[in-house]
Structure 1
Amino acid sequence: MIEAKYKNIFWTPCIEHTLNLALKNICDPNNNEGDNFHLWFIEEVTEEASFIKNFVMTHIMRWSMFHEFNKLKFLQIADTRFASVVIMLKRLLLIKVALVQMVVHPNWAAYREDDTAKAQRVKEHVLNDIWWDIIEYVVSFTEPIYAMIRLADTDKPCLHLIYEMWDSMIEKVKMPIYRFEGKEEGEECILYDIIKEILVSRWTKSNTPLHCLAHSLNPRYYSPAWINEVPGRISPNADHEVTEMRNKCFQKFYPDQEDFKTIKKEFADFALFMNAFENPDSIEDRADFEPQQWWGTHGVSTRLLIFLH
C-alpha cells in the first residue's frame, strides 16, 4: 500500500529475518518442500543436543554437578531468536570437556537414578566422537550464515554491503562442506546444492532494487584490488541483474526524463572512471575509503548521484 502511494519508496525486507528463515529451512527439513533426506542429520543432532541440555538443566543435582566442571552455562535460546540452533550448538562445543567430565564422574551414576535410560543416552552421545564431529561440521557450514546475521544486525549502515556479503557467505558455506565431503571444486555435492538452493531462494525473495543500487554505488566494488580478490568477480556495472535493478531505482526516483538521463550519465562516468571520476586520487581511494567518505571527497561534481550514495 505504501509503495503504491509513494512511488519513490521501496519495500525492503529484514535481512536478519530472511537469513534466520534460511537457517530454519536448513536445520529443520520439515520447513522445506520436497525430499530433504540429506538434511535430516542436522535436525537429529540438534534434537539430541536439546535433549542433553534439558536433561542436565531440569535436575538441580545434575546442573550443580555440571557447574563444578565449567562456569559457562547452557544457553536458553528461544526458537524465535535469530540462529537459535547455531548458537546452541556453538555453546555445546565450548562446554564439551565439562560434559565429558560430568558423565564419567562417579557421582553421575547417583544422579541418574530417576531416569537411567535417559542418563545412559546422554552419556553415549557425550562420549561419542563421531557425534561431536557432526556438531562441528554443522557449525562449520552454518557459521557463515550466523556471522552475516550478526553483521547485519547492527545500527551501522550496511545496505551497500548486503549484495556482496550474501554472495561471499554462500561461498563460505561451500568450503567446509566440500572439505568434509572430500569433494573437489567442480564436483557435484548434493548437500551443498540443497543448502545453496535454500539460500538463493531466500535471497531471490528478499532481494530488492535498493540492494542492487546500494551495491552499485559502493566505490570499492570497482577497484581492481577488490575485483581481482576472487576469481570471476565482476564490477556491479557488468552484472546484468544488478544493472536491471539499478535502472528500476533510477526510473522510480527520477520520473522526469531529463533527470533520468542525467542520473544515467552520472552513473556511467562513475562506473567507467570517466570525466570527473578519472582523477588518479579518485581511482586510488576507491579501494580504501568508506563509501560515504569517498562520495564526500570525490562525488561533488554530480548533481543527482551524490544524493543516492
Structure 2
Amino acid sequence: MFLKSIDTSGLRKDSETLFDIFDKVVQEVGVENLVQFITDNDASYKAAGKKLQQKYDSFYWSPCAAHCIDLMLENFSDPRHFPVINETIKKARKITKFIYNHAWVLALMRKDFTKGRDLCRPAQGKEIVEIVLEDREFWAQCQFIVKISEPLVRVLRLVDGEEKPAMGYLYDAMERAKGNIKARCNNKVSVFNPFIRIIDARWDKQLHSPLHAAGCFLNPAIYYNPCFKNKNDVARGFMACVMMIELDIDNQDKIIEKLELYKNAEGDFGHFLAIRQRDKINPVAWWTNFGHEVPTFQKFAIREYKKGRDALDPINLENIDLMEEWVSEDSELIDGEDLDWLLDLGNGDKRVSSFGCFAFLDFDLNPTKEC
C-alpha cells in the first residue's frame, strides 16, 4: 500500500535531513512492524539509512537491489578495465540511436509529408552500414556481451518486479547467475574472473545482508533442493535475522526450538502435500498452508516476504521475459533535430521502445520507475 509522500523541494537532501524524515516514518509505522528499509544508493541516503538501522537495531537497511545490479552491468563496460566492451557498446548505441531516431518518425514522415522519401542523413547511414555489415569483430563482441550480461539481467528483472516477492530468491539467484557466467565462459578463470569480481564487490559491500540469506533459508523450493549447497551460510543468516527482527526473547526461543522440524522436513513440513508444493507455490503461501504446527515460526517466516497479488505463483528465473517493460531513456537516444519532430507531434506517445538484443548492449537498464 502507498503510505505517504513528502514535498522536499525546499529541503537539503543531506543525511541528517533524510534521517529525520525517515525516522518520523518509522515511528509512524511502528518499529515492531518493520523488516527492511530500502533507499537508493546515493551517499546521503545510504548514510541516513545506516544511521536509522543503528538507532533501532531491529530491522535492516538495504540499498535498491535493482540499482546495485544495474551498477554491476555498468561496471562490465568500464573503459578502464574493459575497453573493447566499451567500444562495442558505443557502436551498438549508434545503431540503436539510428533506429530509434528514424524508425517510427520516418514512417510517419513518409506517409504524411515526404511522399515516401527518407529523411536520414547519408553519412550517418553509411557509418551504420559499416558497423552492421563489415565489422565482424563487433558482432562477436555483441555475442560475448549478451552472454555475460544475460544472467544478471534475469536477476535484475526478478528484483524489479512489483507483484511477486523476490526476497526468498535473490541470494540463490545471484549464486546461479555467477555460476551461469562461469559456464558461459567455459569455466576459464581468466575470462570470467574479472566479471565475477565486480559482482562480488558490489554484492558483498552493498547489497547482501542476512535478510537475503534468511529469505533463501525460508524458501522451501531452494532450501530442500538437493542441488543447493549453501545451507550452512543461509542458516547463519537466518539466525542473525531472528536476533535482529524478533524483539521478543521468548519468541526467539520458540523459533529456534522448532528449527530442526523445518531443517529435517518433519511434522507438517514432511507431509507429502507440503513436499509436493515446495516448488509449486510461493513461499508465503507454503508457510501459510503448512506452518500451523509452529505458529511463532510461521509468523516470522511470512514477515520476511512481501505478499503480492501473484503470491501463489513461484518465481522461475528461466521464464523471466528479458524484454518486457524495458524502456530506454529519451534523452540519450534523440538528438536535437529529431526532438523538433517530436514536439510537432503534439500530445502523441513520445516513449521509445527498446529493440532486440541491443537492450543488453545499451546497458541503460533502469526502467522508468522509481526503486
TM-score range, shorter chain: 0.5 to 0.7
Aligned amino acid, residue 127 of structure 1: L
2:300 counterpart of 1:299: no
The structural deviation recorded for 1:266 is: 1.8
Aligned amino acid, residue 150 of structure 1: R
Equivalence for 1:81? none
- Structure 1 unmatched ranges of 5 or more: 31-35, 69-106, 179-184
Q: Spell out, residue by residue over 1:56-110, the C-alpha distance to the aligned partner (whole angstroms, 9 max, x if none).
A: 777xxxx479957xxxxxxxxxxxxxxxxxxxxxxxxxxxxxxxxxxxxxx99x9
Give the whole-Å Cα distance in 2 for the aligned partners of 1:53 and 1:11.
38
- Change over 3 Å in CA distance of 1:45–1:294 after alignment to 2: same
Q: Spell out, residue by residue over 1:186-231, the C-alpha distance to the aligned partner (whole angstroms, 9 max, x if none).
A: xx332310001111111112101111111111111233xx324xxx
Name which of 121, 130, 145 aligns with 1:124.
130
2:284 counterpart of 1:278: no
- Change over 3 Å in CA distance of 1:18–1:176 after alignment to 2: same
The structural deviation recorded for 1:293 is: 1.9
CA contact 1:2–1:9 (8 Å) conserved in 2: no
Equivalence for 1:249? 241
Aligned amino acid, residue 213 of structure 1: A
Name which of 66, 70, 84 aligns with 1:20.
70
Give the whole-Å Cα distance in 1 for the aligned partners of 2:222 and 2:176.
13
Equivalence for 1:172? 180
CA contact 2:216–2:223 (8 Å) conserved in 1: no
3-state SS of 2:295 partner: coil
- For residues 41-190 of structure 1, the aligned pairs below 5 Å read 41-54=84-97, 63=102, 111-112=121-122, 115=123, 121-128=127-134, 129-155=136-162, 156-178=164-186, 185=187, 188-190=188-190
Give the whole-Å Cα distance in 1 for the aligned partners of 2:96 and 2:295.
59
3-state SS of 2:84 partner: helix
The structural deviation recorded for 1:138 is: 1.0
- Change over 3 Å in CA distance of 1:66–1:141 after alignment to 2: farther
Equivalence for 2:347? none
3-state SS of 1:12 partner: strand
The structural deviation recorded for 1:297 is: 1.4
Structure with bigger helix share is: 1
Equivalence for 1:288? 280
Aligned amino acid, residue 297 of structure 1: N
Equivalence for 1:258? 250
Give the whole-Å Cα distance in 1 for the aligned partners of 2:149 and 2:220.
30
CA contact 1:222–1:286 (8 Å) conserved in 2: no
CA contact 2:58–2:247 (8 Å) conserved in 1: no
3-state SS of 2:185 partner: helix
3-state SS of 1:227 partner: coil
Equivalence for 2:332? none
- Change over 3 Å in CA distance of 1:286–1:52 after alignment to 2: closer
Give the whole-Å Cα distance in 1 for the aligned partners of 2:285 and 2:96.
48
CA contact 1:250–1:260 (8 Å) conserved in 2: yes
CA contact 1:137–1:176 (8 Å) conserved in 2: no
Aligned amino acid, residue 209 of structure 2: T
3-state SS of 1:11 partner: strand
Equivalence for 1:93? none
- Change over 3 Å in CA distance of 1:130–1:303 after alignment to 2: same
Equivalence for 1:71? none
Equivalence for 1:84? none
- Structure 2 unmatched ranges of 5 or more: 1-50, 108-116, 302-371
Aligned amino acid, residue 177 of structure 1: C
* Relative contact order, higher structure (CA 8 A, sep 6+): 2
Give the whole-Å Cα distance in 1 for the aligned partners of 2:300 and 2:200.
27
- Change over 3 Å in CA distance of 1:285–1:64 after alignment to 2: closer
3-state SS of 2:60 partner: coil
**RMSD after superposition:** 2.9
Identity of aligned residues (%): 22
Q: Spell out, residue by residue over 1:255-278, the C-alpha distance to the aligned partner (whole angstroms, 9 max, x if none).
A: 544332221122221112234433
Q: Spell out, residue by residue over 1:238-287, the C-alpha distance to the aligned partner (whole angstroms, 9 max, x if none).
A: 32x32222211111123544332221122221112234433333333324
